[in-house]
């Protein structure tokens, strides 16, 4: 296996509808994956993920279903190094409370 060029975040459980707000100092591929797809990603096999190329921050990814999740901040193919990153988790209840207070 080749040297990995990604940072990893993991959660044992995220509720469906949770938003991951990712702040970056440069461009990166953001890949939100369930455990099976993350294992395939690590092994260099075919995988499916949510997210995409983030050029501006914050980049928001919505968790599609409840369960364990991994987020890979992948720099492969971008020609960049040393991108700083931070991830904030916004639970669905907090989002609903914001909507209600604006009404």
The CATH number covering residue 95 comes to 2.60.120
Model's pTM, two decimal places? 0.84
pLDDT in tens, the chain (103 residues): 344 578 999 999 999 999 999 999 999 999 999 999 999 999 999 999 999 999 888 999 999 999 999 999 998 888 877 789 999 999 987 655 555 455 5
Q: Which two tokens stand for residue 62?
A: 């919505």
Q: Is residue 102 helix, strand or coil? A: helix
In this predicted structure, what is the pLDDT of residue 5? 74
Q: Do the domain assignments include residue 1?
A: no
Q: Do the domain assignments include residue 84?
A: yes
Under 8 Å between Cβ of 31 and 74:
yes
Q: Do the domain assignments include residue 72?
A: yes
Q: Do the domain assignments include residue 60?
A: yes
Q: DSSP letters along 17-55, please?
A: T-EEEEEESS-EEEEEE-HHHHHHHHTT-----EEEEE-
Domain count, the chain: 1
Q: List the domain range (segments joined by +) for residue 85.
A: 6-102
């Amino acid at each position: 296996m080749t040297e990995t060029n990604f940072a990893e975040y993991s959660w044992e459980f995220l509720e469906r509808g949770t938003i991951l707000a990712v702040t970056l100092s440069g461009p990166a591929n953001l890949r939100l994956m369930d455990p099976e797809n993350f294992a395939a990603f690590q092994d260099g096999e075919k995988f499916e993920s949510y997210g995409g190329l983030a050029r501006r921050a914050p980049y928001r990814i919505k968790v599609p279903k409840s369960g364990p999740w991994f987020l890979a901040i992948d720099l492969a193919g971008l020609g960049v190094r040393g991108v700083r990153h931070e991830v904030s988790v916004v639970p669905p209840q907090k989002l609903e409370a914001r909507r209600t207070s604006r009404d």
